[in-house]
Amino acid sequence: MNTNTLTRISTLAAAIGLALSANVWAAGDTAVQTVGYDVQEVAQISVTEGSPGTLTISAATPGSVPDPDELLAGTYSITNNAGTDSKKITAAISTGMPSGVTLKVLLAAPDGATSEGSGSNGVALSATDADVVTGIDSVNETGLAITYQLSATIDAEAMETADSRVVTFTITDQGGV
């Protein structure tokens, strides 16, 4: 290659370099990006692990129905970011209770919500969902008490062995509120 050709190639390379660097510098000293975001509805419930124990009816005052048994059965935690789109907690057991035997549950209500168990009375459980806490708006709480109550009428038959039921708690839309 002669000197003239090398000069042309160098000049061409320099021109391309200047053009490219001009485009880079043309962007300025700031850059922008658009970042999309989305906050989804979160409605979660959890209970303390393990089984709470066995409720036992073993005594009665003469002339009265058998004495009920009550068990503080741990706690639950709840998170709900639905704002004023109220939620509720329902509870159901895996299968119905024997004739004359009633299992109830009482959940302490998070701030602003209502426990459907009146006073210290719980909500009777069956294989059909029952409202146990209603009016749940935005909340994030832990350590809310769960209490079970077992009662029996005089018609309840004595059991040879203890039995159990699986209790399922579900957060769902309040509906109609």
Q: Is the pLDDT of residue 69 over 70?
A: yes
- Strands (E) across 97-177 are located at 101-107, 114-115, 123-124, 130-136, 139-152, 167-173
For residues 125-139, average pLDDT? 95
Same domain assignment for residues 90 and 155: yes
Same domain assignment for residues 4 and 65: no
User: What's the total number of domains in the chain?
Assistant: 2
The whole model's pTM is what?
0.77
Same domain assignment for residues 8 and 82: no
pLDDT score, position 132: 97
Domain membership flag for residue 96: yes
Whether the CB-CB separation of 126 and 96 falls below 8 Å is answered with yes
Domain membership flag for residue 84: yes
pLDDT, tens digit, 9 for 90 and up, residues 105-131: 999 999 999 999 876 689 999 999 999
What secondary structure letter does DSSP report for 85? S
Same domain assignment for residues 95 and 51: yes
Among the ranges given (20-24, 64-68, 172-176), the one the predictor scored with the smallest mean pLDDT:
20-24
Domain membership flag for residue 38: no
pLDDT score, position 5: 47
When pLDDT is cut at 50, 70 and 90, the band that residue 177 belongs to is very low
Distance CA 112, CA 137 (A): 7
pLDDT, tens digit, 9 for 90 and up, residues 143-172: 999 999 999 999 998 888 889 999 999 999
Same domain assignment for residues 96 and 162: yes
Domain span at residue 4 reads: 1-30
pLDDT score, position 159: 86
3-state secondary structure of 12: helix
Domain membership flag for residue 35: no
What average pLDDT does the chain have? 85
pLDDT, tens digit, 9 for 90 and up, residues 15-30: 555 555 544 545 589 9
When pLDDT is cut at 50, 70 and 90, the band that residue 175 belongs to is confident
Domain membership flag for residue 36: no
Q: Is the pLDDT of residue 14 over 70?
A: no
Same domain assignment for residues 133 and 74: yes
